[in-house]
Copies of this chain bind each other. A is one copy, B any other.
């Protein structure tokens, strides 16, 4: 390999970085950014929800007035984004001594050319100090990532090819025969190709789980996230230390009722550090 081709390979952007790339608008509106949906993270009728959450977090991270690191992020999926350009508006509505409160939205031109809100969000960033700390949900004892086969690529939606997933338990049902009896999934996961972990990648990883109702019922019904919240427990240094290692993700439904179920999620790194907890409320049909 020549030096120049090696350099070219090394500098090629990771698909995740391409997908969350935002450009400050030439207009005078502060916190307004232009982005483009990325075909590599396409789901069935719009982008993978995790990449939308990651993009909103990216807008905060590159905002010149940001204080601290991500603490919480709530994203409401009001309507599917269409393929193409979109605008992110990120506004720090209140800045305290150690916390900062954000409201965000994604806008796209609708059929009539008028701007339509596809996504709303709120977030809190915070300056963390070292305090007494303890984890109260230890990582479950599971086989190492290398012991679990990875889901083969090409499961029908493109974004799944952007993740390496090695299910431990609760993989997607092989037969839709109505035989489901629980909603617990545990899996090792990381970006594909591997990419050093940061807050943006972590936000997306919190949303990789297939709909709990598919597992619980072993039925392939239509489903989609309505709202997701991610709480970030790790520091930038802990994410950096995690590097390109796997995360153990655990997801479970608590209540499935009249068209909506909730999902609770925990994400640990291989060292057993809880990096994030998350929950979402998900629409399902039938």
Contacts and interface: CB of A to CB of B under 8 A. Distances in A.
A126 B260 CA distance: 10
Interface string A30-71: 000000000000000000000000000000000000000001
Interface stretch (A92-100, A167-175, A196-204): A92-100
A247 to B, nearest CB: 14
Given A93-B105, A120-B101, A259 B74 contact: no
Contacts of A14: none
A207 to B, nearest CB: 15
A274 B234 CA distance: 31
A72 interface: yes
A279 B120 contact: no
A76 B277 contact: no
Interface in A76-111: 76, 78-79, 93-94, 96, 99, 101, 103, 105
Contact of A93 (B78, B128, B255): B78
A25 interface: no
Contact of A126 (B135, B259, B262, B284): B259
Interface string A275-286: 001010101111
A183 B284 CA distance: 33
Contact of A226 (B71, B283, B286): B71
- For chain A, what secondary structure do more than half of its interface residues adopt (helix, strand, loop), or is it mixed? strand
Contacts of A79: 94, 96
Contacts of A10: none
A235 interface: yes
B258 A277 contact: no
Contact of A122 (B96, B120, B262): B120
Interface in A207-252: 216-217, 226-227, 229, 231, 233-235, 252
Contact of A136 (B93, B99, B103, B255): B255
A235 B216 CA distance: 22
A122 B279 contact: no
Contact of A255 (B72, B116, B137, B256): B137
Interface of A: 71-72, 74, 76, 78-79, 93-94, 96, 99, 101, 103, 105, 116-118, 120-122, 124, 126, 128-137, 182-183, 216-217, 226-227, 229, 231, 233-235, 252-260, 262, 264, 266, 274, 277, 279, 281, 283-286
